[in-house]
Amino acid sequence: MTTAVREAPHHRNLTCVKEYRCRRPECLQRSAAYDNRRSRLVAYGRWQPFTDAEPVRQHVRMLMSYGIGLQRVCRLAEVSNGGMSRLLYGAPSSGGAPTKRVRTTTADKILAVKPSFDHLAPMARVDGTGTRRRLQALIANGWPQKRLGIEMGIQHHRLIWDHVRQDVVAADTARRVRDLYERLWKADPIAHGVRPRFAAEAKARAVANGWVPPGAWDDDYIDSPAAQPDLGERVDRYTAIAEDARWLMDTQGYTRSQAAHRIGITKDHLDRALSQRPDTELAA
């Protein structure tokens, strides 16, 4: 008589092997790696299977304060809903008191989840400032609303106009507009098939509404509601950045990364300024 093997509910951790006798090669490999690591740490006197739960609990609450929901944290950390619930709220068997200790491996996975914009759930609501400004800047560069809708895979181009006006948007929309902006901010719409007439109409619409092109926005602050566009009375911001960076690299021997740090911007921002103002370009 053979003993029936129960099917494991999931294969994310060691439970499927230890409790359900799972024989999947990848699960057996994961279990063997865990056993080998445990043996090494025990031999060195460094085996600590559990750690203090309070810092982990505070980290989860911090993530939630950034708009990353509890279920989303569970998925990102690959931790069960039950385990996360016990961490935050305790178990009925413990009288409702949160757990005092948590497995070190679980703590490591939870602490590895950072409060990143990319970790927000698709339908999480976020401030629409950056989304509006990016779409408006692209239109100011001559990208028609309808073409932007096509580039984003939106069938009804009126949705682009809605995004231009909304104070709050879905996180997925904000990410898609951010990626669209990164792809098109320095692209010539006419060179990409937009008819000159439609490009001119887009620019005229931007002028009529007071929308500014990408060069007027600081990349590090375009999402901040408090930021103001720099229209440049004498030279625009990109020109000033490029000139300062080239002086640092030419006379002081700075690398491009060092020059960006000295000016107080990101290297990506400096790369963008130098590509927009290519005069006397220097090698990084």
Question: Is 3 part of a structural domain of the chain?
Answer: no
pLDDT(283) > 80: no
Residues 112 and 96 in one domain: yes
Given 119, 144, 171, the domain boundary residue is 119
**Are 133 and 86 in a shared domain?**
no
Residue 270 maps to a domain: yes
Structure token pair of residue 24: 């999947």
Give the model confidence (pLDDT) of 95-142 as tens digits: 667 888 888 888 888 998 888 888 888 888 888 899 999 999 999 999
- Neighbouring C-beta atoms of residue 235, cutoff 10 Å: 12
Residue 114 sits in which domain range? 50-119
Q: Is 2 domain-assigned?
A: no
Domain membership of residue 284 (yes or no) is no
Confidence of residue 282 (pLDDT cuts 50, 70, 90): very low
What tokens does 20 get? 């359900």
User: In this predicted model, what pLDDT tens digit does every residue of 190-230 receive, in sequence order?
Assistant: 999 999 999 999 989 888 888 888 888 888 788 888 888 87
Q: Is residue 266 part of a domain?
A: yes
Q: Are residues 141 and 199 in the same domain?
A: yes
Mark whether 155 and 92 lie in a shared domain.
no
Let me know if residue 1 belongs to a domain. Answer: no
Residue-by-residue DSSP string for 78-108: T--HHHHHHHHH--GGGTTPPPSEEEHHHHH
My answer on whether 202 and 144 are in the same domain is yes
Q: Are residues 194 and 137 part of one domain?
A: yes
Specify whether 30 is located in the same domain as 82: no
Tell me which DSSP letter residue 3 carries: P
Total number of domains in the chain: 4
Residue 168 and residue 211 in one domain: yes
Report how far residue 142's alpha carbon sits from residue 173's, in angstroms, rounded to the nearest whole number: 21
